[in-house]
Amino acid sequence: MAESLTTAVEILRKNKLKLTKQRHALLSFLLTNQGHYTDIVAVDAYMRTEFPGMSHNTVYRNLKEFEEVGIVEQNTEQERTRVKYQCDFHHQHHHHFICQNCGKVTELQMCPMDFFTAQLPGYEVTGHSFELYGLCADCKAAGVTEASLVKN
């Protein structure tokens, strides 16, 4: 965790962003939960508990700045925005498998874009998002099935 925090602090400094007490607490929270996406509302609630005078705008602005400099990854599912600490600073472009039971996030090492662009001759792809959903090995071993998942 210390190495990841050091990397994040270096990125902040490189981008001329100060490491305030609030930003340090936000980074620590994200690092503690780095294996899962966390609902942005939960991040806001935590930060406002730690810093009662902190505004919603400050929390969201800091998360947006962290995303812009590559410290935070963002995911939107069913109109809910979630964030997590960057899982791979060396490969900013990557994709994930997300367990629908426990929420564990596993980085995928390959991007499938070559497969898709080969099917689109003459087209220009300007962006993409790719995530796989299902059950992680631990949840499957525990006997969780797709049928037992609570649908939101």
Q: Is 91 annotated as a binding residue?
A: no
Q: Decide: 38 and 6 in contact? Cβ < 8 Å.
A: no
Q: Decide: 94 and 87 in contact? Cβ < 8 Å.
A: yes
Q: Decide: 5 and 31 in contact? Cβ < 8 Å.
A: yes
Q: Is 93 annotated as a binding residue?
A: yes
Q: Is 136 annotated as a binding residue?
A: yes
Task: List the one residue out of 85, 92, 98, 107 whose CA is nearest residue 31.
Answer: 85
Q: Is 139 annotated as a binding residue?
A: yes
CA separation for the pair 132, 82 (Å, rounded) = 16
Tell me the binding residues for Zn(2+).
99, 102, 136, 139
Tell me the binding residues for Fe cation.
93, 128
Tell me the binding residues.
93, 99, 102, 128, 136, 139
